[in-house]
Amino acid sequence: MVRLLGKLMQIVGLVILPAAIVLQLIFDDPDTNESELERTGQDVFGFGVDGLLVAMIFGVCVFYVGRMVEGYATRQ
């Protein structure tokens, strides 16, 4: 059961960044940008470059913790 939880955490860690990228692309509307550097998807859903970086770091952390949980389960 714990091994399954570890595997699930690894899968979630791998899915987080692509899901954040897709959400950012869906909610981005380049026609309404007032500045070349501004992305309106950040206003709608909070996924600018900074949000994607946070999603990436969170995904890596979840994946690593899932790997440790899975390793702990196989040692027991």
Q: pLDDT tens digits for 48-69?
A: 777 788 899 999 999 999 999 9
The residues near 26 (Cβ < 8 Å, ≥ 6 apart) are: 41
Query: Is the residue at 55 inside a domain?
Result: yes
Containing structural domain, residue 21 = 2-26+40-75
Query: Is the residue at 68 inside a domain?
Result: yes
Scan for tokens 């994946």, then name that residue: 63
Query: Is the residue at 34 inside a domain?
Result: no
Report pTM.
0.73
Whether the Cβ atoms of residue 28 and residue 46 lie closer than 8 Å to each other: no
| pLDDT band with cut points at 50, 70 and 90 for residue 33 | low
Query: Is the residue at 63 inside a domain?
Result: yes
Query: Is the residue at 31 inside a domain?
Result: no
* Alpha carbon distance 67, 62 (integer Å): 9
Query: Is the residue at 32 inside a domain?
Result: no
Query: Is the residue at 35 inside a domain?
Result: no
| Number of domain units in the chain | 1
